[in-house]
């Protein structure tokens, strides 16, 4: 069956909405989830921090945000990013502004530090860092991310997308994934310092309920056959499937409940045990 594999089931977007918070906590208490990362400017971030304190076994990371959501700092303090608006720009507008060099990198650093410090002030340790829609890997932003990781002694940073190739995700999603893979291979992989812990991250192609039990197990078998990293993070987006989240983020076309159902599937746990897969967390790997 190939080398032993340690698996981290991770839930993105903690703090985004109450329904996502409930899904992540249920997936942790009743299922396979061991890790999450907080959107500090999310409308339900304070609730998420309270839930994290009540569930100290759940690994906490920071989900760096620079598009769509609200900043932690006052919008006027980071005006090159927000243009004075109360929310960050869309991902496309952010990309255009970055390539046009209209954004002050000092403002990005200040905002990301504020997002991290919101968690640390609550006395919750941060074991890992990732970026909303992989923005932390954008041109010019990765050095800021790595600087912040060193400052706050955050050991793990998401710097890979190792999904086994499939066209089931849809043509545009595959094109985005190819661009991301090329960017990581050509530029990102050469920029990672020795103090950053590396692992394989899987979930870009099957984000938001597109991953099922069969595909997940097939991906695990493929990664083992390829002799990929012995430590793999599967990125999921569990939620309870509430109408409010579905309405607010309708443009994502996610099915949060499917990810929750997958993570709480007892037959999946048995299948992983038969494969000798060990469930772990970022904290346990330190």
- Beta-carbon contacts of 155 under 8 Å, excluding residues fewer than 6 positions away, are 127, 128, 149, 195, 196, 197, 282, 286
Residue 102 lies in a domain: yes
Contact of 35 with 5, CB cutoff 8 Å = no
Residue at token pair 């048995």: 270
Q: What angle do CA 63, 104, 12 make, to 5 degrees?
A: 10
Confidence band of 1 (pLDDT split at 50, 70, 90): very low
Mean pLDDT of 188-195: 90
In this structure, is residue 173 part of a structural domain? no
pLDDT in tens, 67-92: 999 999 999 999 999 998 999 999 99
| Burial (Cβ within 10 Å: 0-12, 13-18, ≥19) of residue 135 | buried
Confidence category of residue 16, pLDDT binned at 50, 70, 90: very high
Instruction: Give the total number of structural domains in the chain.
Output: 1
Query: Which pLDDT belongs to residue 225?
Result: 85
Q: Where residue 213 sits, what CATH number does that domain have? A: 3.20.20.370
In a domain, 202, yes or no: yes
Residue 131 pairs in a beta bridge with 64
282: Cα separation from own chain's centroid: 13
Residue 175 included in any domain:
no
How far is Cα 286 from Cα 269, in angstroms, rounded to an integer?
24
Query: Does the pLDDT at position 134 exceed 90?
Result: yes
Residue 262: both structure tokens together? 């997958």
Say if 172 falls within a structural domain.
no
Cα radius of gyration rounded to whole Å, the chain: 18
Interatomic CA distance for residues 60 and 253, integer angstroms = 26
Cα–Cα distance measured from residue 145 to residue 134, given in angstroms and rounded to the nearest whole number: 11
Other C-beta atoms closer than 10 Å to the C-beta of 205 total: 22
Look at the block and give the residue holding tokens 């494969």.
275
- Kindly state whether residue 29 falls inside one of the protein's structural domains: yes
pLDDT band for 3, please (50, 70, 90 cuts): low
Q: Cα dist. 234→199, 244, 263 in Å? A: 11, 26, 11
Residue 265 has a pLDDT of: 97
Tell me what pLDDT residue 201 has. Answer: 95
Evaluate whether residue 180 is within a structural domain. no
Helix 266-274 crosses helix 213-225 at what angle (to 10 degrees)?
20
Q: How far apart are CA 118 and CA 132, in angstroms?
A: 17
What value does the mean pLDDT take over residues 120-147?
95
Give me the domain span that covers residue 146.
6-167+185-285
Closest by CA position to 163, among listed 75, 236, 99 = 236
What is residue 111's predicted lDDT score, i.e. its pLDDT? Answer: 98
pLDDT over 50 at 232, yes or no: yes
* For range 105-110, the mean pLDDT: 98
Q: What are the tens digits of pLDDT across the range 25-36?
A: 999 999 999 999
In whole angstroms, how far apart are CA 96 and each of 23, 92, 138, 218? 34, 6, 11, 37
Does the pLDDT of residue 270 top 70, yes or no?
A: yes
Residue that has been written with the tokens 């309708």 in this structure: 250
Confidence of residue 195 (pLDDT cuts 50, 70, 90): confident
């Amino acid at each position: 069956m190939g080398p032993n594999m340690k698996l981290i089931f991770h839930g993105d977007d903690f703090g985004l909405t109450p329904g996502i918070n409930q899904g992540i906590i249920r997936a942790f208490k009743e299922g396979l989830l061991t890790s999450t990362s907080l959107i500090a400017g999310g409308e339900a971030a304070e609730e998420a921090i309270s839930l994290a304190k009540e569930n100290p076994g759940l690994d906490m990371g920071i989900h760096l945000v620079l598009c769509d959501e609200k900043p932690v700092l006052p919008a006027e303090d980071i005006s090159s990013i927000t243009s004075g608006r109360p929310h960050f720009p869309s991902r496309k507008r952010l990309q255009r502004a970055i390539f046009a060099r209209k954004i002050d990198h000092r403002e990005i650093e200040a905002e990301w530090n504020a997002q991290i410090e919101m968690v640390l002030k609550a006395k919750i340790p941060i074991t890992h860092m990732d970026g909303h829609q992989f923005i932390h890997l954008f041109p010019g932003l990765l050095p800021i991310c790595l600087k912040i990781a060193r400052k706050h002694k955050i050991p793990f940073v998401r710097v890979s997308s190792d999904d086994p190739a499939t066209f089931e995700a849809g043509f545009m999603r595959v094109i985005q994934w190819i661009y991301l893979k090329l960017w990581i291979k050509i530029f990102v992989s050469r920029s990672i310092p020795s103090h950053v812990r590396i692992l394989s991250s899987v979930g870009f192609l099957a984000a938001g309920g597109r991953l099922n039990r069969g595909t997940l197990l097939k991906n695990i078998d493929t990664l083992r056959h390829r002799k990929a990293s012995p430590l793999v993070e599967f990125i999921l987006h569990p939620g309870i499937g509430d109408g409010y989240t579905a309405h607010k983020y309708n443009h994502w076309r996610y099915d949060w409940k499917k990810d929750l159902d997958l993570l709480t599937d007892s037959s999946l746990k048995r299948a992983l045990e038969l494969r000798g897969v060990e469930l772990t967390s970022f904290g346990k790997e330190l």
